[in-house]
């Protein structure tokens, strides 16, 4: 069971943001459909600003990269880039990888809390839609347990930051005191909520919010005492901002180079620092080439807090020990599931033989002799071969042959 579980994806360590944002644009329904046609039995799609991963259970996991490449071709996206940057982990390495992700050991900022809630959302969505069944259900619930244990049994999350707070830290490094700076938040989702909380703690007094949904913007603005702009007034909002932090769910740029040409003219070229923490990106990367515009995206944040993470080496080692213990526990569970399934299959097989003999209306002696002969025939033929087999799946295959379970 776990041997045919897989994770296929990309993350901030191996893949540029351009490819990650392309993958984030793929319709989840299309992914599930393509993989279902490739005999993938269970799937969960985890898409965040730092990673895009598909967890699954398949008869032949090796077909998954090819199926995803075909899907990218269908979307007219560069499938060759996916092959260069993606990882495809199967079996134990897959189990270990997902548990590390849940523990935030694979995060840009080790110890951050957002990834666990993001995994829970992905699991809940795909389970509700029927894509998560027995194996992935147990797998993700174990991963959530890993994440909780790491956060409660180690100090890995102490003095740690999220991507959103990393953006605020970057703004402080650029501007120093943010008290009198005007900050514009584009978006009102979880990332912008985290950013707003950190801006409030940093003492920022002038915060504005703009979002396509005015109700969501109002909710966020109320939390931090921010000013609200209507979406149609985005150029005005940009004109009045010293710092822009953007994180929406848009699939196309919400801030374009042309828009910023007009904004900067009205600002008389007064500098703006823009931090785009969305994937797909919200802000046209061409803006970075314009005078007095300084644009940072999610990949620029990757090197922040490296020293703080190095200082938590002891806690990280403790977290890895928790992961390893839970990996062993999950593998033990999958093996017990396989054994239980095999025992059930054996019992059903011989019950079928018993029922067939009963239909012949034989005497008790004839019926039991016939049943015994049927039961012992294959074990007798194959028993001598058991000593030549290695452990594991070969022995299981031999056992199936012994009891004529092969279809």
Query: Which residues are annotated as catalytic?
Result: 49
Nearest to 52 by CA among 76, 73, 81: 81
Tell me the pairing of strands 87-90 and 5-11. antiparallel
Tokens of 377: 């025939």
Beta-bridge partner residues of 53: 9, 46
3-state secondary structure of 355: helix
Tell me the pairing of strands 293-297 and 182-186. unpaired
CB 260 within 8 A of CB 238: yes
Query: Please, what is the Cα angle at 8 between 7 and 9, to 5 degrees?
Result: 120
- DSSP secondary structure string for all residues of 367-385: HHHHHHHHHHHHHHHHGGG
Task: List strands edge to edge, sheet with 87-90.
Answer: 40-47, 51-58, 5-11, 87-90
The shares of helix, strand and coil residues in the chain, as percent rounded to the nearest 5, are 60, 15, 30
Q: Which spans in 75-175 are helix H?
A: 79-85, 92-102, 114-128, 134-153, 163-175
């Amino acid at each position: 069971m776990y041997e045919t579980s897989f994770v296929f994806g990309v993350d901030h360590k191996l893949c540029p943001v351009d490819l990650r944002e392309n993958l984030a644009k793929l319709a989840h329904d299309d992914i599930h459909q393509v993989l279902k046609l490739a005999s993938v039995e269970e799937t969960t799609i985890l898409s965040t600003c730092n990673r895009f991963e598909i967890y699954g259970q398949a008869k032949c996991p090796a077909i998954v990269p090819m199926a995803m490449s075909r899907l990218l071709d269908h979307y007219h996206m560069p499938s060759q880039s996916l092959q260069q940057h993606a990882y495809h982990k199967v079996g134990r390495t897959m189990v270990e990888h997902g548990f590390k992700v849940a523990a935030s050991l694979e995060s840009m900022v080790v110890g951050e809390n957002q990834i666990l809630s993001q995994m829970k959302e992905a699991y809940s969505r795909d389970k509700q839609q029927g894509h998560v069944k027995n194996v992935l259900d147990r797998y993700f619930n174990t991963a959530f347990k890993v994440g909780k244990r790491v956060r409660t049994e180690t100090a890995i999350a102490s003095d740690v930051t999220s991507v959103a707070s990393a953006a605020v830290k970057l703004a402080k490094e650029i501007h120093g005191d943010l008290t009198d700076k005007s900050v514009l938040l584009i978006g009102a989702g979880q990332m912008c909520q985290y950013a707003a909380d950190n801006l409030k703690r940093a003492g920022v007094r002038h915060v504005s919010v703009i979002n396509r949904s005015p109700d969501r913007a109002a909710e966020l603005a109320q939390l931090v005492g921010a000013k609200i702009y209507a979406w149609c007034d985005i150029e005005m909002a940009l004109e009045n901002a010293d710092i822009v932090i953007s994180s929406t769910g848009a699939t196309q740029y919400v801030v374009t180079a042309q828009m910023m040409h007009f904004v900067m003219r009205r600002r008389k070229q007064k500098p703006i620092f823009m931090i785009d923490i969305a994937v797909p990106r919200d802000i046209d990367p061409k803006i970075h080439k314009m005078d007095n515009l300084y644009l940072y995206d999610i990949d620029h944040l990757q090197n922040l807090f490296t020293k703080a993470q190095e200082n938590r080496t002891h806690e990280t080692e403790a977290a890895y020990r928790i992961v390893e213990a839970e990996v062993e526990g999950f593998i033990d569970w999958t093996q017990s599931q396989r054994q239980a399934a095999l025992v059930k299959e054996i019992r059903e097989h011989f019950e079928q033989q018993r029922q067939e003999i009963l239909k012949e209306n034989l005497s008790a002696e004839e019926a039991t002799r016939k049943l015994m002969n049927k039961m012992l025939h294959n074990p007798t033929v194959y028993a001598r071969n058991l000593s030549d087999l290695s452990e594991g799946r070969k022995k299981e295959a031999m056992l199936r042959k012994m009891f004529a379970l092969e279809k």
